[in-house]
Amino acid sequence: MKIENPSILQMIRAPFLSAIIAPLVAGTLLAVNIHGSLNVPAFILVLITGIGLHVATNVYNDIYDTIQGPDKVNVHRNEFSGGSGVLISNPELMGRMHLLARLGLILALIGTIALMYFIDRSLWVYLWGLFFLSAFFSKYYTAAPVKLAYRGLGEFSVWFAFGPMAVAIASISQNLFPSGEMLVLMPVTGFSTLTILLVGQLIDVDADIKGGKHGVASRLGTKVTALIYIFVQTALILNIVFMSFYFSDQSLVLLALLLPYGLLFPGCAATVVKYHDNPDELKAVAKKTVMIHLFLSLFLIAGLIALLNL
């Protein structure tokens, strides 16, 4: 599908920014639950930092997946997988895409510098460690010579970046070193984002194989990847149950997070197992997986807000 005159929102794949906004908001809310106060300027700055890094990630992924081949040969691209397609339709925008990615990194750098003024000096090393690791992931998830996603390390990178790393920087922005309850929260959003990646790999597996992008699906096959998708969703459910009992006597309200799974996951699981090698059938699963992710994000934020008032 040709994209005529793409907007900046299309170029940065704006709808997927929820993957970074959710853990940053959730981590901040949990920090407020723990120490009872919200540093609003620091919260705004960590959002700026996270969104800047995610914009860079999205744009660099499109750039290098186009240059290196997978996006060029992908005949199953859809709104939930296969990249934006902007550069396939508009190769003349390559320079603008590079500019957007660099601006994202600059925005994140400014946010990180400003955050130093709101946290203890002892946390600076962790703040900068997270920034540099995130900036590394943003480009070298797909870019040579590292190409994490091409070497079987993409799945871990996605889980780690959108789970532990995002929650950790949110906690640090509120002047709280992550421990205890933060550690329990960390895997949730990473698992949620990873499920979107896994379904995308099932749909894009032929293009990934032709382009040399060796994720789980191209390495282990679609049937195994379908089972891994179900395993990750199940791990997420168990993480939520544990979190609900671990936080406090009032935190059973967080069990409401499982509502999206009761409504959508059984159908997704059945379809993934039955049609693991049929990209056209899996596109509906990709849409529902994104819906689960969005509902989970909203319920997680709502649940943590509810805890503030209990």
pLDDT digits (tens, 9 = 90+) for 128-154: 999 999 999 999 999 999 999 999 899
Name the pLDDT band for 1 (thresholds 50, 70, 90). low
Q: What is the pTM assigned to this prediction?
A: 0.93
Q: Give pLDDT, residue 170.
A: 97
pLDDT digits (tens, 9 = 90+) for 211-244: 888 889 999 999 999 999 999 999 999 999 998 8
Coil vs helix vs strand at 133 = helix
**Helix residue spans in the chain (DSSP H):** 8-11, 18-35, 40-68, 86-89, 94-115, 124-140, 154-160, 166-173, 181-211, 216-220, 222-246, 259-274, 279-308
CA distance 189 to 161: 10
First to last CA, the chain: 50
Phi-psi region of 65 (alpha: psi -120 to 50; beta: other; left: phi over 0): alpha
Coil vs helix vs strand at 81 = strand
Query: Average pLDDT for residues 74-84, to the nearest whole number?
Result: 77
Q: Give pLDDT, residue 38.
A: 94
Phi-psi region of 78 (alpha: psi -120 to 50; beta: other; left: phi over 0): beta
Q: Give pLDDT, residue 2.
A: 60
Q: Report, at the CATH architecture level, how domain 8-308 is classified.
A: Orthogonal Bundle (1.10)
DSSP 13-64: TGGGGHHHHHHHHHHHHHHHHHHS---HHHHHHHHHHHHHHHHHHHHHHHHH
81 phi and psi angles, rounded to 5 deg: -155, 165
Bridge partners, 78 (sequence order) = 81
Phi-psi region of 85 (alpha: psi -120 to 50; beta: other; left: phi over 0): left
Q: Which of 89, 94, 92 is nearest to 63 (CA)?
A: 94
pLDDT digits (tens, 9 = 90+) for 237-277: 999 999 888 887 667 788 888 888 888 999 999 999 999 99
Q: What does the buried/exposed string (b/e) look like for 99-119 if buried means 16 or more CB atoms within 10 Å of the residue's CB?
A: ebbeebbebbeebbebbeebb
pLDDT digits (tens, 9 = 90+) for 10-58: 899 988 899 999 999 999 999 998 888 999 999 999 999 999 999 999 9
Please report, for the chain, the start and end positions of each structural domain, with discontinuous segments joined by +.
8-308
pLDDT digits (tens, 9 = 90+) for 82-120: 778 888 888 899 999 999 999 999 999 999 999 999 999
CA distance 55 to 212: 24
Coil vs helix vs strand at 275 = coil
